[in-house]
Structures are given as C-alpha cells and as structure tokens.
Amino acid sequence: MEDMQHQVMGYDRTATMFAPDGHILQVEYAEKTVRLGSASIGIVCKDGVVIVSDRRTRDKLVIGESANKIYEVDEHIMATASGIISDARVLIEKARVISQQHRVTYDSEPNTESIVKEIADIKQQFTQYGGGRPFGVALMVAGFNSKPELFTTDVTGNYLEYHANAIGENDEKLKEKLREKYNENLTLNEGMKLALSIFKETLKEDFNISRFDICIIDKNKKMKRFIERDLEAYK
C-alpha cells in the first residue's frame, strides 16, 4: 500500500527526488532490475581470482561466444555484470579507456580499485542529476596487481571489496552457499569447482556446463577464458 502511495504521489518519476521515507525509488527499481539479470560468482583464491557467469542463453541459433558475460578491461583486470547489459557495455568501455589512459600517462598498469572507483563515481552521478536514469547494472570487477582482488559496484555507486561474491538472479542464495563453503586457501581450480557446484545446487535440472562463461586471472597477471571443451572435467 505504501509503495502504491509513493507512485501516486509521483516520487518515482525522477532519480533526483526523495520519497518522504528517504528512499530514491528510481534507484530501488534499478536494483530490482539487477536481480532479474543472469547470475555471476566471483572468488578470490590463493593463486588468483576466478569469475563464473551464467550466460543463460539456450537458443541454438546463437553463437555462444557472442553472448560471453565476462569482459577484459585490461590484461590483468576483468569484469562481469548483471542487469541491463547494454548499460554495462557502456561502463566497461569507459573502464577500458580509463585503463589505457593510465598506461599512456604513467607507463604502468592501472590499479584495480582505481578503475572501480572511477566507474562507481559515474554510476553515482546518475542517481543525483536530472535528465538521465540510474545505470541498471551491478558490476563485478576482478584484478591482480600485488594480489588478487574482487570488487562489486552497485546501482547507487557504492563499491566494496570481497573474498567472494555473487550478483544477479538468486544472489542471496548463492552468497549464503559461498559463506558456508568459501575458504581463503582455495586454488583457482578448486574455486572454479566450488562456483560450478553452487550453480549446480541452485539450477538443479537446468544446470548445463555450456551455459557458463569462466575466466581466471592468475599470478602471471593474464586473463584466461575457458571454452566448453576445457570444462568437461567440471561437469
């Protein structure tokens, strides 16, 4: 009833208007959009960081690689998203530009958190100024500078660093299983197996190894993507 009253009053017409209870309704709607998106799990391991993303594509006419959910930002930084993927594409392109500008300016690799902060700042601006809407996307960014790192930015422009995290559909269930099973001594191989086993528990009969996009960044600071034939052992 309270939500209906807010809408009647028009508090959800713009991202710059607070409802009387202190909420920005456009931002909350965008957060719901994120939870409609396909899920991803990120895990920091002792020898690197891994992201496992559900592409959720089942159309046999679609070439699977064209629907990959994990993107290279720099050779040592990768990102995945949940929500409106076209929104994510714009932010990831911006992150790539920021990364290359850093390399040209300082002749060194960019820090993962500095890239995340720049993107989070852009997301925050679209919750504050008129003429636009919030980005309907959560970004999970993994990188390896002096150590493996995993960050997640939400719709509001906040970001946090994680040992392991999940975004997208059923994110709370996925995170609960991560809390139960994660430990800091996991290898990359074990981290991949853990993420896939959690997806298997959650998806049940819908689980199929071909629907997942999996990438790692190891101590060599290089992103590696696993294709379907590499994943036979993880079924």
Strand residues in the chain grouped as ranges (E): 40-45, 48-54, 70-74, 77-83, 137-144, 148-153, 159-161, 164-167, 212-218, 223-226
Q: What is the pLDDT of residues 100-149, one digit of tens each?
A: 999 999 999 999 999 999 999 999 999 988 788 899 999 999 999 999 99
Q: What is the CATH number of the domain that holds 87?
A: 3.60.20.10
Which helix or strand (DSSP H or E) is residue 179 part of? Answer: helix 171-181
> Do the domain assignments include residue 235?
no
Assigned domain for 148 exists: yes
Residue 22 lies in a domain: no
Q: Is residue 24 part of a domain?
A: no
With respect to residue 8, please indicate whether it lies within any of the assigned structural domains: no
Inside any domain, residue 119: yes
Average pLDDT over residues 85-96: 96
DSSP 41: E
Per-residue pLDDT, 211: 87
Task: Decide if 163 is inside a domain.
Answer: yes
Q: Is residue 6's pLDDT more than 60?
A: no
Range of the domain at 103: 36-228
Quick: pLDDT tens for 181-190. Answer: 999 999 999 9
pLDDT value at 8 more than 60: no
Closest CA to 196 of 49, 50, 78: 50
Sheet (strand 40-45) strand order: 164-167, 40-45, 48-54, 212-218, 223-226
The predicted structure's pLDDT at residue 89: 96
Q: What percent of the chain has pLDDT over 90?
A: 72
Would you say residue 18 lies in a domain?
A: no
Give the total number of structural domains in the chain: 1
The 3-state DSSP class for residue 51 equals strand
Across 41-56, average pLDDT: 96
